[in-house]
Structure 1
Amino acid sequence: MPEPLGNQELGKWGEELAARYLQAYGYVVLARNWRRRAGELDLVTACPQRRAVVAVEVKTRNAEVSVGPVEAISRAKLARLRKLTGMWLQETGTRCERVCLDLVAITVENDGSWLIRHLRDIS
């Protein structure tokens, strides 16, 4: 990881790391930072193994932050992500067997190392 980053730069770095991680496991990135008035989808991917379109929320946090990446996802945030995923599918005309919502949580330790946790089907 590069030198200490501000929150915005840390988020962008985490999203890039998450995309590479997912691609290494066979996911295909269909969209990044898809924004609409209702909010944003960090990543939209296709996962052939799961036969699904997977919207991926990426949360990157420094280890010393009191609220970890998993705890940062509220019920309201999950509802918004579900709505946005439906909007993306409709707008792009994408058809699929399954639609999933995953979380990639990245925790950056003080020594610059990081831990990636991939939680599937969070909603």
Structure 2
Amino acid sequence: MPQAGKDNRRQKGAAAEEAAAIWLQGKGYRVLDRNWRCRFGELDIVAEWKGALIFIEVRSRSGAPGFGMPSESVNARKIVQVRNTAQQYVHSKRLHDSPVRFDVISILLRDDMTVDALEHIPDAF
């Protein structure tokens, strides 16, 4: 039974990341990579906007927002992990001269995995 919960969590995460990517593209961002992995961790979305490299952490929750916004779950440990992973991305892609920004997209999902609310936080950390 634990596997079913993990699969559902993955589906919700994938639905949130897909919604975030579509929303970003609608705002003029160019999505360069999704779920980019290295030994330091994973980057949910890497995008380009107005010449800057944007690393976007996507956080989601489903059901009633009684536990706060998903963005509140980005803690100091996660920030360090995303920054280290981004540094590896910049190095591996040879993008050392690009300005960099770290954003968070917070998504509340309905039970059917459609978006109830989306919040974009530029320069989140």
Q: State the TM-score, normalized to the length of structure 1.
A: 0.86
Task: Return the alpha-carbon distance in structure 2 between the equivalents of residues 14 and 60 of structure 1.
Answer: 6
Task: Return the alpha-carbon distance in structure 1 between the equivalents of residues 106 and 55 of structure 2.
Answer: 14
3-state DSSP of counterpart to 1:103 = strand
Which residue pairs with 2:67 in the alignment?
A: 66
Task: Return the alpha-carbon distance in structure 2 between the equivalents of residues 88 and 17 of structure 1.
Answer: 23
Identity among equivalent positions (%) equals 30
Task: Give the unaligned 5+ runs of structure 2.
Answer: 1-6
Number of matched pairs: 117
Task: Give the unaligned 5+ runs of structure 1.
Answer: none
Distance 1:30 1:75, change over 3 A: same
Distance 1:36 1:113, change over 3 A: closer
Q: State the TM-score, normalized to the length of structure 2.
A: 0.85
Write the deviation string for residues 13-33 of structure 1: whole angstroms up to 9, x where unpaired.
Answer: 110110000000110011110
Task: Return the alpha-carbon distance in structure 1 between the equivalents of residues 25 and 97 of structure 2.
Answer: 19
Runs of 4+ in 1 over 2 A off after TM superposition: 63-68, 109-113
Instruction: Give the alignment of 1:50-61 within 5 angstroms.
Output: 51-61=51-61
CA RMSD of aligned residues (A): 1.9
C-alpha contact (below 8 Å) 2:19/2:115 kept by paired residues:
no
